[in-house]
Structure 1
Amino acid sequence: MDAKLINRIRGARRIAVLTGAGISTASGIPDYRGPDGVWTRTPSAVNAFTLENFMADAAVRAEFWRSYAGHAAWRAEPNAAHRALAELDGAGAAVRVLTQNVDGLHQRAGLAARKVLELHGTMHTTRCTACPLRLPTSEVLARFDGDDLRCPDCGGILQLDVVLFGQRLDGDVLGHARNIAAASGLFLAIGSSLQVEPAASLCSVAVQSRATLVIVNRDPTPYDEDADFVLRDDIETVVPELCAAVGNP
């Protein structure tokens, strides 16, 4: 690893980490926009992730639920990158993860739930769009027979507790994420295409507050020119190296 990078990040104490699908591919979860991504292989699949289509068409909703019924994330385990971030926090650094992922692997790796902001929600719970009911997704999928799913209380449309295209992020969560980015001394953007806003703009918030921005991603991103360092290395290899450098003052 570059000596200039090591010297710049060594001993950082306030670390914000924006993570995208790329951090979980080593756990067997496919990303969305990569060469083998879900939407690259099946472009029409993105239709099921658009709020307007989801709410309007029972067939689209059934396709959405089918995609999650056998989702690799149910069987996935945290990989070396997830574990390294949790271990860095456990060693005394103030690590806060701002994740675009809905798989819950950061928490399973050992980070306290309060230290993980799930910007785009979680696949582990499901809510009714018409009443306050929330259910574990495992219970919902247990009765999925390939058709549209409806609320057992009111008959309303059930939606996985994730943010779909056309749906706003939770304002409180986003505001908290911006405050964390602004307070960070080191901002790591890991495995994100940085094409989805407003999550990607957290990089700008960090840079404007004079944080060191390090982007770790296989492909170019719109924020590469703003970064202090851009790494194209394997995430499962380089993230533990970055964490080791931070934790070695």
Structure 2
Amino acid sequence: MDEVIARVAQAIVAAERILLITGAGLSADSGLPTYRGLCGLYNGHTEEGIPIEAALSGSMLQRDPALCWKYLAQLGEACLGAEANAGHRAIAELQRLKPECWLLTQNIDGYHRSAGSPPERLIEIHGELAPLYCQSCGAVDADLVEHLNKPLPPRCQHCAGVLRPPVVLFEEMLPERALNTLYRELGKGFDVVISIGTSSSFPYIVEPVLRTRQAGGFTVEINPARTDLSERVDVHLQGRALDVLPKLLGHI
């Protein structure tokens, strides 16, 4: 393992442009339940007997905001109940050392920001849980914690409209700005791409890895289990991001 980590570290040192891709496995090391779709707090169906994907959908937020917010609140409480770990901090330090190191995350918990990853090189492709904003008047309300302790759904203090987080719910489009940033940077090419703690089930997560390897770049997967991507990267590092990333940083 140490020899493989050293090999990956050498590739990082030699690289100018790097892309790190993170998924739920990284935050699982903080104690946050891994996601099933948006979250794995559930076993596929809610107490109401509907799929969690239906409860956490854009159409449900419009049709029955109280029901949608019941599960958004559980997700929010889980995220607020944990914090960034050594893996998040190692990524932030790597971004400090390498000015052209970009971070693409599927996670909505905000741990990368709190760990110190620079916002200008952070692509949150599924959005984030805060700040809330009003769907009616657009007013911003930053106090997620306060609203989780009040009756749901949270309401705008200006117009009483329903508040929502800037997160991508099921049935909704990915944020245009994040997509544009991703494909702008992908168009410039990357020397190294590292997939961390993700099952790589979305095309926009797999594509940067495959495109980079096809162009002659170096590709790595860090994951405790093997995925469909494992046979298509140069190196698969088996282990938790919490353990592997600090060791990797120690070689740089």
Please tell me the TM-score bracket, short chain as reference.
0.7 to 0.9
Alignment counterpart, residue 47 of structure 1, candidates 51, 54, 64? 54
Conservation of the 8 A alpha-carbon contact between 1:131 and 1:154: yes
| Alignment deviations for residues 67-102 of structure 1 (CA, whole Å, 9 cap, x no partner) | 145x23213222111111122223345321111111
Equivalent residues in 2 for 1:145-164 (5 A)? 145=151, 147-164=152-169
Runs of 4+ with deviation above 4 angstroms: none
Which moved further from structure 2: 185-194 or 225-234?
A: 225-234
Alignment counterpart, residue 112 of structure 2, candidates 106, 125, 132? 106
Conservation of the 8 A alpha-carbon contact between 2:73 and 2:148: no
Give TM-score, length-normalised by structure 2.
0.83
Which AA in structure 1 matches 2:136?
A
Conservation of the 8 A alpha-carbon contact between 1:195 and 1:221: no
Give TM-score, length-normalised by structure 1.
0.84
Which moved further from structure 2: 174-183 or 155-164?
A: 174-183
Q: Say if 2:36 is the partner of 1:33.
A: yes
Q: Which residue of 1 aligns with 2:181?
A: 176
Q: Say if 2:17 is the partner of 1:14.
A: yes
* Identity across the alignment (%): 28
Q: Say if 2:27 is the partner of 1:24.
A: yes
Alignment counterpart, residue 121 of structure 1, candidates 120, 127, 133? 127
Specify whether residues 172 and 210 from structure 1 end up closer, same or farther in structure 2 by C-alpha distance, changes over 3 A only: farther
Q: How much has 1:47 moved relative to structure 2?
A: 2.6
Q: Which residue of 2 aligns with 1:58?
A: 65
Unaligned runs of 5+ in 1: none
Q: How much has 1:192 moved relative to structure 2?
A: 1.1
- How many equivalent pairs are there? 243
User: Take 1:232 and 1:40, find their aligned partners in 2: how far apart are those partners?
Assistant: 26
Conservation of the 8 A alpha-carbon contact between 2:57 and 2:68: no
Which AA in structure 2 matches 1:37?
G
Specify whether residues 141 and 234 from structure 1 end up closer, same or farther in structure 2 by C-alpha distance, changes over 3 A only: same
